[in-house]
Structure formats: structure tokens, C-alpha cells
Copies of this chain bind each other. A is one copy, B any other.
Amino acid sequence: MDTRLLRSFTAVAEDGSLSRAAERLFVSQPALTKQIRQLETLLGVRLFTRSRAGMALTEAGEALAGQAPALLAHWERALAATRGAAARAARVLRVGFMASAANEATQEIVTRFCALHPGWRVDMRQASWSEPTAGLADGSVDVALLRLPFPGQGDLRVEVLLTEPRCVALPAGHRLADREEIAFRDLWDEPYVAAAPETGGWRDYWLAADEREGRPVTVGAVTEHPDDWLSAIANGYGIALAPASAARFYARPGVVYRPVSGVSPSRVAIAWPPAADGDPVVRDFVRCCLDATSAPG
């Protein structure tokens, strides 16, 4: 049996319908019917009961559905570890990052690291905002420059590199756009451009959900990439809190950035998996991060 059949099974289990799952997987309904039948034949077990109402999991199907996520994740991690080993052998350090990484310090970090490790290359990999660990969780990167807090943070080693105030990104024609500085309480009732709900605490943080005295947030749009985020703001779907450096790294016609008072600052950190503690290459990269962000300049 292969992961393709397991993924198909998972999709049908989630949707409760062959037709809907087929649509989501971009295959025809008969093709998916055959795949599920093939899986049941291979296992010698009925996984679904069929009816006009769709596909309901049997007890065996429930058991497999319970196992499937961990199994598929195990596969992905194994493949990631294999790719990681290949990168290491080729003297490539894969660095995930969110948004502007460590701002201006990023280039210095890379320069310092390459000086320390001649022959090595740093592969910077930008992550979508729907994956706040920037690849650390699934093992597709070795270290990551991240904004705190993020989901899964407790499972990773973290060193704070720098702190910067947060500001607000507004459409250029916004009624508050002329202000030199805006109090956060004046922004409480605005609609916001937010990250995906499944990012949990990450999204809450960038909505400053815990810093508005219980006042609820209005979400005007959900985006996953900086470009989409900027477009949504420029188009007036909402405003967004951002690190102050966003004014430099994400300048865009139609978007203005203003300092905000009454909201906590943003922290940039370097993160890596505990299993990499003994890895001199990772240790040196972390050292370079700390050095590059502690010296004045």
C-alpha cells in the first residue's frame, strides 16, 4: 500500500463523500472509488459503509483514520531527514524564515557564518505565514529565523536576537493615516487582515488579541503571504499590526506604516530542534546570529 492510497483514504474519511473528496483531490469520482476499493482489498478489511448519504467509516476505518496522520507525518519527516542529510553532505545550511527574517542583520549573519565555514552555503527559505515554524516542524530546514510567539515553540530551542516596536500598516487613504503615532485603543474597532485561524497563538499575537481589554477582533481578510497581506491592506480590507521594520522591507504604494503605542514589541528569534544541539554547524550559525544582533551597528 502506498501513501497515495492513504491520502485518498484520509480525504474521503474527512469529507464523508467520494464525490467531494474526488473534487478536492482533482481526480474523478470513479477513480477514487477504485482507489478506496483497492485499499480495502489490500487490507482485507471494509473501511467504509456506503450509502446515499455518502461514506461512513467502519470501526476499522476509524482505527486507520486515527493512525493515518502520524503515519503520513512519519513519512514526511523521514523524507525530510533524507533531504537534510543530502544538504548537509553538500555543505548547505537550510535556513527558514518568516517575512523579513532578522531584518538588516540577516545579511551580516549569513556573511559571518560563511566566513566561519568556508565552502558552506546558506539556503534561505521563506515560509508562508500559515507555517510559523518556517519548516522546522516538518524538518525541511535546519534552523529558522522566526517571530515569537509561534505554535510548537515549546518543542524547539529558541534564542531571542532582537526586539523592535510594532507599528500598524494602514491603507494610504485611511482616516488615521495622517497621524504621527496612533494609540492601539484607537485601532480596536478596525477590521484586521489576519493570518489563518489554524496558526492559533501566532495569529492572536499579531492581532494583539490579549492586549485589547477583552474587546473582540474583527477580521476583514485572511492571508498567507506578504504580497497578499499588502494587497489586502492597500485594497482596504483591513489593517494589520506589523514589526516596525515592515516599513522598510514591505514598502508598497497604497500602504502606510505608523508607530503604535500601547502594544507590546515584536521579538525575532533563532530557533532550532533540540536534536541539533550537538551539531557544530547549527551551533555556529546560532552564534553568528547572536553576535550579529548584539554588537552596535
Residues of chain A at the chain B interface (Cβ within 8 Å): 1-4, 43-47, 58-64, 67-68, 70-71, 74-75, 78-79, 81-86, 88-89
Contacts and interface: CB of A to CB of B under 8 A. Distances in A.
B2 A82 contact: no
B2 A1 contact: yes
Nearest to A67: B78
20 contacts: A1-B2, A1-B75, A2-B3, A43-B83, A45-B86, A47-B82, A58-B86, A58-B89, A59-B85, A59-B88, A60-B82, A60-B83, A62-B85, A64-B81, A67-B78, A67-B82, A71-B74, A71-B75, A71-B78, A74-B74
A contact face: mostly helix, strand, loop, or mixed: helix
Contacts of A45: 82-83, 86
Contacts of A85: 59-60, 62-64
Nearest to A5: B2
B82 A64 contact: yes
Contacts of A81: 63-64, 67
Which of A44, A62, A75 is packed against the most chain B CB atoms within 10 Å?
A75
Tell me how many chains of this kind the complex includes: 2
Contacts of A71: 74-75, 78
Contacts of A79: 1, 43
A86 B74 contact: no
A33 B4 CA distance: 22
B58 A68 contact: no
A296 to B, nearest CB: 41
Nearest to A44: B83
Given A1-B3, A64-B81, 13 more contacts: A1-B2, A43-B79, A43-B83, A47-B82, A58-B86, A59-B88, A59-B89, A60-B85, A60-B89, A64-B82, A67-B78, A67-B81, A67-B82
A60 B92 CA distance: 13
Given A1-B3, A2-B3, A4-B2, A68 B59 contact: no
A86 B59 contact: yes
A44 B45 CA distance: 35
Which of A58, A88, A89 is packed against the most chain B CB atoms within 10 Å?
A89
Smallest CB-CB A-B distances: 10 pairs: A2-B2, A63-B85, A60-B86, A59-B89, A67-B78, A45-B86, A64-B82, A60-B85, A59-B85, A63-B82
Which of A62, A79, A82, A83 is packed against the most chain B CB atoms within 10 Å?
A82
